[in-house]
Amino acid sequence: MTEAQRAALKAASGWYARLCSGASDADEQQAWQRWYDADEQHRQAWQQIEKLREQLGLLPGPIASSTLRGVDHGRRRLLGSLALVAMALPLGWFAWHSDTRRYWLADYRSGVGERRQWQLSDGSRLMLGTASAAQWHADGQRRVLRLLSGEALLDSVDEARPLLLETRYGVVRSHGARFCVRSDAHHCQVAVLQQRVEVAPLHHLHDMHTLAAGQQLRFDAERLGAPRANDAATTAWTQGSLLALDRPLGEVIAELARYRHGVLRLDPALAGLKVSGSFPLADTDRALAALEHNLPLRVVRRSDYWVTLVPKV
């Protein structure tokens, strides 16, 4: 690798880290475009980044950047660089490493875009949505399912032992209920389909509140939100669909992004457009094509892993 190629790869990894940080604005994205268009070596370096992104897809931007700078030294050096990053960024690294380690060691997990089903040892049925992971433990006194990431549909068996579904924000207790739970970076959402459950936030586990069939609520570690009625969109993901009912486009794109590899971006000017329709989660390209056909927007593809929706001129 020449010095120019090495410099281009280093610059590309820096751009990748900034653009994936969530803090980049339109000016920075335009600056990246000028850098990308300026030189063939820049474009080749960016293609190398994209080829590696599936391997490094779970790493946050800054860690990916530091790792990618050593990519030309081979896989062994690549793994070695991860250890160096771990020493250099202990807090961020250990938070990432802990989540990632739990994901790969989980009893049940699904990949990006997958839905998978299992029968648990007590006879309960578990379905995981995209990029989700869960740990299962059952003994003579209790049954515990820990939702480490993502979303789950649990059809629990009614028996004397309560079934606790634990999340980072609190717990859901069931005796034979059928319910969905989704955990993300900010809160957890639980929706009851049959029977009832009890819910408590992490910092007030003694204060359990009953949620009846047909109801859902959001909660974080401190408090529960107000219950509201389920609708047709609540369980659409279990059938492989995203059902939007007069929903902002920004929310629809954020949801589709969870079901595809790579970067899916939306021009902020389009975020408030209202969308109604049913979109296939197993074929997000077809969903994007439907949005392009029905809304004043254009789908711009830098590659299969870098897609941006911009206003139609």
Give me the pLDDT at residue 184, please: 87
Q: Give the DSSP per-residue string, the chain.
A: --HHHHHHHHHHHHHHHHHTSS---HHHHHHHHHHHHH-HHHHHHHHHHHHHHTTTTTS-HHHHHHHHTTGGG-HHHHHHHHHHHHHHSHHHHHHHHHHHHHHHH-SEE--TT--EEEE-TTS-EEEE-TT-EEEEEE-SS-EEEEEEEEEEEEEPPP-SSPEEEEETTEEEEESS-EEEEEE-SS-EEEEEEESEEEEEEGGGTT--EEEETTEEEEE-SS-B---EE--TTTTGGGGTEEEEEEEEHHHHHHHHHTTSSSEEEE-GGGTT-EEEEEEETT-HHHHHHHHHHHSSEEEEEEETTEEEEEE--
Residue numbers of the chain with a pLDDT score lower than 70: 1, 16-26, 49-103
Give me the pLDDT at residue 102, please: 66
Using CA atoms, how far residue 219 sits from 2, 101, 130, 170, 254, in Å, is 53, 25, 21, 8, 20
Helices 90-105, 61-68: crossing angle, 10 deg rounding: 90
Give me the pLDDT at residue 19, please: 65
Give me the pLDDT at residue 26, please: 64
Q: Give the DSSP per-residue string, 28-91.
A: HHHHHHHHHHH-HHHHHHHHHHHHHHTTTTTS-HHHHHHHHTTGGG-HHHHHHHHHHHHHHSHH
CATH 3.55.50.30 fits 240-311, yes or no: yes
In DSSP terms, 108 is beta-bridged to 134
User: How many angstroms separate the CA atoms of 133 and 105, rounded?
Assistant: 9
Query: pLDDT tens digits, residue range 71-109?
Result: 444 433 433 333 333 333 333 433 444 566 666 778 899
CA angle 54, 60, 61 (to 5 degrees): 90
Query: pLDDT tens digits, residue range 280-304?
Result: 999 999 999 999 999 999 999 988 8
Give me the pLDDT at residue 272, please: 95
Using CA atoms, how far residue 123 sits from 30, 153, 156, in Å, is 54, 14, 8
CATH of domain 108-229: 2.60.120.1440
Domain ranges of the chain: 3-104, 108-229, 240-311
